């Protein structure tokens, strides 16, 4: 046992889907368990923070951390695990890019707290009670982590060695990443462990994508039927494929849904949302301002659509004023 | 600065807006040149970047200019129908329409990013547009995104913080 490399899994601001992704390895997980010693995995095993604190620095081969960083506790755990690990891996879209929680960066903390604890229609909170970081009761003090102003990707908090993209990462890329890690056959630090080419390249409908797109309208998947054979974008549905890294083998497209961009951009793109905006808008088939606006009105929420997973890791990172 | 990243108010008088200007080689850049040789005086707040076409202006350039400290971004292209490459200015116009909506959602004021059609003979329009934009930015005040983001990063412990470049 002591000779096996040690691995830790941890979750921060996440939904649990990334934990499922580990289980999605199915029988391959047996190989992983065989090869490594899992020393910390709150969702599945009963090790505590103090157990991690007791480990020597750098004694864990790799920590796979999923979820974005929103609270002081998540930040502390990220620092702790960073210190204890040789390799820190941002696992999944939230850790990699801020993910869905990152969309909260469109609102300041006060607005979120006020809505959640006071204004939400399902609330009964006449005293407008809000959580506090320390509360004294019967001489004992109960504490809660502090909610930070905004959501951050893992690499905005600690040094990250590799990224495993996806919401959640697919079994194939997880398996490849773990395999590379255990054999030491790893790419240069900072790499995203997935192909560095746009999703369209591996899309089964690639051949039906026209050279020149021209949008007369944008359709939405819940309001119109998608032809299961043709390029989704060519049909007028907003597909993030052209601005998104491949590696998922076009899972959503195979399920007849457009790509929503969870693998993030390729290494040559700084800002996934801006790049996709550029591609989409350029191909609007109108020249008059009013007509352009009418077509673009088919994208009712540009931030939520183009930065669905990447707002925290975009150039602006958050609402600026 | 407080953790919300609100920069201190600039001392009136000493702050000048900085504008990153992407000018098309075939029209607005030539117009700016014409303004120069015609000895037209206009506000010295623009830093001109010559591009071959307004269609070359990637929205990433605009965001990056703001993140690196520009208070505003001005894009100058050929009048509709006059693009040297036929369609480039239309592509820019379409991106601009969606980008403006997105920037509004992210709290960037309307006057900070501006698209103008200025032909090679309209040196005077360069002057009026730049002067007008400088006035509007002065009314808005500094954007100071680098300082805001730095202040925001201070919310989390200073050691080991690695802001993405």
Ranges of each domain in chain A: 6-100+152-183, 107-148, 199-306
Nearest CA distance, B141 vs chain A (angstrom): 12
Q: Using 50, 70 and 90 to split pLDDT, how confident is the model at A2?
A: low
State the angle between helix axes of A171-183 and A28-35 in degrees (0 to 180), rounded to the nearest 10.
Answer: 20
Interface contacts (A, B; CB < 8 Å): 127
Helices (H) and strands (E) in chain B, counts: 5, 4
pLDDT for res B13: 66
Nearest CA distance, B62 vs chain A (angstrom): 9
Chain B CB within 8 Å of residue A280 CB: yes
Q: Which residues contact B44 (CB under 8 A, 6 or more apart)?
A: none
Q: Which two tokens stand for residue B79?
A: 């009048």
pLDDT at B158 over 70: no
CA A315 from chain centre, in angstroms, equals 16
Between 3.20.20, 3.40.50, 1.10.287, 3.30.710, what CATH number should domain B19-152 receive? 3.40.50
* CA atoms in the 13 A half-sphere facing the CB of B154: 12
* A154 φ, ψ (degrees, to nearest 5): -60, -40
Q: Which two tokens stand for residue A158?
A: 């600690």
Q: Which residues contact A232 (CB under 8 A, 6 or more apart)?
A: A205, A226, A239, A241, A253, A257, A258, A259
CA B102 from chain centre, in angstroms, equals 15
The 10s digit of each residue's pLDDT in A142-183 is 999 999 999 999 999 999 999 999 999 999 999 999 989 988
SS3 B99: helix
* b/e B48-83 (16+ beta carbons within 10 angstroms → b): beebebbbbbbbbbbbbbbbeebbbbbbbbbeeeeb
pLDDT for res A28: 85
Q: Using 50, 70 and 90 to split pLDDT, how confident is the model at B9?
A: low
Chain A CB within 8 Å of residue B13 CB: no
Q: Which two tokens stand for residue A268?
A: 């040559």
Q: Using 50, 70 and 90 to split pLDDT, how confident is the model at B109?
A: very high
Query: Which of A213, A225, A207, A196 lies closest to A283, judged by CA?
Result: A213
Helix, strand, coil % in chain A, rounded to nearest 5? 35, 15, 50
Q: Do B157 and A106 touch (CB under 8 A)?
A: no
Mean pLDDT (whole number) for A95-103: 97
Q: What global pTM score does this model have?
A: 0.92
Element spanning B149, H or E: helix B145-153
Give the residue carrying structure tokens 């100058």: B76
pLDDT at A306 over 90: yes
pLDDT at A31 over 90: no
B35 and B125 Cβ atoms separated by less than 8 Å: no
Residue of chain B minimizing CA distance to A103: B106
Point out the residue among B63, B93, B95 whose CB comes nearest to the CB of A289: B93
For an interface test with A, give the residue of B7, B57, B60, B146 to mutate (most A CBs within 10 A): B60
A144 and A132 Cβ atoms separated by less than 8 Å: yes
Mean pLDDT over the full length of chain B = 90
**How big is chain A, counted in residues?**
321
Q: Do A277 and B145 touch (CB under 8 A)?
A: no
Q: Which residues contact A8 (CB under 8 A, 6 or more apart)?
A: A38, A39, A40, A41, A52, A60, A62, A63, A64, A81, A84, A85
Strands (E), A168-305: none
Least confident of A16-25, A193-202, A224-233: A16-25
pLDDT for res A90: 98
pLDDT for res B53: 98
Other CB atoms within 10 A of residue B111 CB:
15
Chain B CB within 8 Å of residue A306 CB: yes
C-alpha B108/C-alpha B110 separation (Å) is 7
Q: Which residues contact A221 (CB under 8 A, 6 or more apart)?
A: A237, A257, A258
* A237 φ, ψ (degrees, to nearest 5): -90, 140
CATH class (in words) of the domain with range A6-100+152-183? alpha beta
Q: Do A296 and B164 touch (CB under 8 A)?
A: no
Query: Which of B44, B43, B26 lies closest to B34, judged by CA?
Result: B26
Mean pLDDT (whole number) for B121-143: 97
pLDDT at A270 over 80: yes
Q: Using 50, 70 and 90 to split pLDDT, how confident is the model at A118?
A: very high
Other CB atoms within 10 A of residue B88 CB:
22
Q: Which two tokens stand for residue A114?
A: 């006020």
Q: What is the dihedral of CA A177, A179, A181, A187, to 10 degrees?
A: -60
Give the residue carrying structure tokens 């975009």: A314
C-alpha A246/C-alpha A265 separation (Å) is 9
């Amino acid at each position: 046992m002591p000779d096996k490399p040690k691995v830790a899994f941890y979750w921060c601001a996440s939904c649990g889907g990334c934990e499922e992704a580990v289980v999605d390895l199915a029988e391959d997980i047996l190989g992983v368990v065989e090869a490594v010693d899992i020393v910390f995995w709150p969702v599945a095993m009963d090790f505590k923070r103090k157990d991690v604190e007791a480990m020597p620095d750098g004694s864990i081969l790799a920590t796979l951390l999923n979820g974005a960083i929103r609270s002081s506790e998540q930040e502390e755990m990220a620092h702790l695990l960073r210190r204890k690990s040789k390799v820190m891996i941002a696992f999944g879209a939230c850790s990699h890019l801020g993910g869905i929680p990152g969309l909260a960066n469109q609102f300041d903390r006060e607005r979120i707290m006020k809505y959640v604890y006071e204004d939400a229609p399902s609330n009964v909170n006449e005293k407008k009670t809000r959580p506090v970081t320390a509360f004294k009761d019967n001489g004992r003090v109960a504490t809660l982590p502090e909610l930070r102003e905004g959501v951050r990707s893992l690499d905005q908090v600690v040094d990250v060695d590799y990224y495993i993209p996806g919401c959640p990462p697919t079994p194939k890329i997880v398996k490849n990443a773990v395999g590379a890690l255990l054999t030491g056959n790893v790419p240069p630090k900072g790499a995203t462990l997935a192909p560095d080419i746009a999703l369209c390249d591996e899309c089964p409908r690639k051949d039906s994508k026209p050279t020149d797109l021209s949008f007369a309208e944008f359709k939405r998947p819940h309001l119109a039927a998608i032809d299961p054979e043709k390029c989704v974008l060519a049909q007028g549905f907003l597909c993030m494929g052209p601005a998104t890294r491949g590696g998922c083998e076009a899972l959503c497209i195979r399920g007849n849904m457009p790509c929503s961009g969870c693998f993030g951009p390729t290494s040559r793109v700084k800002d996934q949302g801006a790049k996709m905006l550029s591609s989409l808008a350029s191909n609007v088939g109108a020249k008059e301002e009013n007509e352009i606006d009418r077509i673009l009105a088919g994208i009712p929420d540009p931030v939520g659509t183009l930065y669905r997973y990447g707002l925290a890791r975009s150039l602006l990172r958050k609402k600026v004023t | 600065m407080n953790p919300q990243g609100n920069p201190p108010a600039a001392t009136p008088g000493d702050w000048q807006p900085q504008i990153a200007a992407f000018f098309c080689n075939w029209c607005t850049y030539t117009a700016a040149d014409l303004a120069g040789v015609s000895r037209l005086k206009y506000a010295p707040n623009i830093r001109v970047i010559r591009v071959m076409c307004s269609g070359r202006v990637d929205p990433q350039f605009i965001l990056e200019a703001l993140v690196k400290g520009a208070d505003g971004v001005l894009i100058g292209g050929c009048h509709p129908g006059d693009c040297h490459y036929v369609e480039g200015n239309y592509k820019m116009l379409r991106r601009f329409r969606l980008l403006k909506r997105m920037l509004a959602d992210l709290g960037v004021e309307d006057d900070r990013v501006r698209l103008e059609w200025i032909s090679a003979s309209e040196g005077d329009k360069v002057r009026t547009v730049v002067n007008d934009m400088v006035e509007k930015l002065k009314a808005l005040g500094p954007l100071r995104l680098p300082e805001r983001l730095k202040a925001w990063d201070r919310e989390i412990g200073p050691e080991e913080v690695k802001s993405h470049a």
